[in-house]
Amino acid sequence: MLFLSRFFLSCDLQQPSISEMHSPDLLQYDKLIDKFDTLLFDCDGVLWRGNELIPGSKEFVEKVRKAGKQVIFVTNNASNSRNQYKAKFDKLGINVERDEIFGSAYASAVYLKYNLKFPADKKVFVVGMKGLEEELESEGIQYIGGTDPKYNTITPDIDFNAIKSGLDKDVGAVVAGFDVMLNYTKLSYAYSYLTSKEHDVKFILTNDDSTFPQSCGLFPGSGAMSSPLVVSSKRKPTVVGKPNAPMLECILKQKQLNPDRTLMIGDRLNTDISFGQHGNVKTLLVLSGVSTPEDIEKEGIYPDYIARSLKHIR
Ligand SMILES: C[C@H](OP(=O)(O)O)C(=O)O
Ligand SMILES: [Mg+2]
């Protein structure tokens, strides 16, 4: 803690003296990006909070592009598809190609198709939003649930028998992600599939982030929203998003990365920084999102670099 308090006492990322083991290497920030050919950007908490750009983020992405670097955007937020993120980037004035965007909804669809070899005649029961449905469709995977009104009724008069008798025998997986329409009916269907004695139903989470940053603060994230299924079904899901391997595998299927010349930039230690460390790339924690300096020693996760935000990297 000592070095961090000195660090912040010395204010904006000058050359503070550092003594402790494990301390992040607070190099002079000039020309940091010259060390890398590829920059992996987390989105929520790094580029934006909700729909509000974080000051300096757009300019930093432009600077990195001008320097001829490969940029890849890696988000655990499963509420949007790549198309929807492309539209968001466009609206926010950040020039991004669709194939530079890797969201946990897309990575989950890729994981089902290529890792699990999900049969074409099987269906996914979706606890999630349009973006997840779109990405399943993009990989030719059938689904039910999700935004279908039948599963989004909020009523105290639940017909439990209808749920149990109405299960679709073709469901072979439950995929749970961020879902603002989460409700007891949908959870009851998902639970019934996950605990079905008749069928082998895989359990996948797009991500398990505990919280979700908005400009006005934090809210429950996918990890919090899928915990009712984890607790009630007593099953251990496969989690696709950062820091887990399926997300990195999805990127490596399409992009060339030299780990020695790649930097992962994120705001959450236990997803973004761990993801970079698992991928043996350098990591930069920005303090514009979820994790705080105190979290570093509390979680024992030490980024290679720290910055207040992208704006502070010259
Ligand atoms: C869901 C969101 O994902 P990110 O874009 O930060 O990976 C977050 O929880 O911060
Ligand atoms: Mg983030």
Write the CATH number for 203. Answer: 3.40.50.1000
Residue 40's DSSP bridge partners are: 72, 264
Q: What value does the mean pLDDT take over residues 249-267? A: 96
Residue 85 lies in a domain: no
Q: What percent of the chain has pLDDT over 70?
A: 90
Helix, strand, or coil here: 191?
helix
Sheet with 171-176: strands ordered across: 142-145, 123-127, 171-176, 202-205, 238-239
Query: Are 198 and 213 part of one and the same domain?
Result: yes
Q: What is the pLDDT of residue 12?
A: 37
* Segment among 5-19, 24-38, 40-54, 56-70 with least mean pLDDT: 5-19
Q: What is the pLDDT of residue 195?
A: 98
pLDDT at 140 over 70: yes
The alpha carbon of 72 and the centre of ligand 1 are apart by a number of angstroms equal to 15
* Segment among 14-18, 75-79, 81-85, 260-264 with least mean pLDDT: 14-18
Residue 207 lies in a domain: yes
The alpha carbon of 272 and the centre of ligand 1 are apart by a number of angstroms equal to 9
Decide which of 239, 263, 293 is a domain's last residue: 239
Decide which of 239, 270, 290 is a domain's last residue: 239
Ligand 1 atom at minimal distance to the Cα of residue 211? 9
| Cis peptide bond prior to 24, omega within 30° of 0 | no
Query: Are 8 and 25 part of one and the same domain?
Result: yes
Spatial distance between the Cα atoms of 193 and 82, rounded to a whole number of angstroms: 28
Q: For residue 302, what is the DSSP state?
A: -
Q: Which two tokens stand for residue 47?
A: 């580029």
179 Cβ closer than 6 Å to some ligand 1 atom: no
Query: Are 47 and 127 part of one and the same domain?
Result: no
Which residues form the domain of 31?
Answer: 3-76+245-312
Residue 218 lies in a domain: yes
Q: What value does the mean pLDDT take over residues 160-189? A: 96
Query: Are 117 and 55 part of one and the same domain?
Result: no
Query: Are 228 and 263 part of one and the same domain?
Result: no
Q: What integer best gives the mean pLDDT of the chain?
A: 90
Spatial distance between the Cα atoms of 79 and 178, rounded to a whole number of angstroms: 6
Q: Which two tokens stand for residue 22?
A: 């494990």
Number of domains in the chain: 2
* pLDDT-derived band at 11, boundaries 50, 70, 90: very low
Query: Are 264 and 296 part of one and the same domain?
Result: yes
Note whether ipTM > 0.90 here. yes
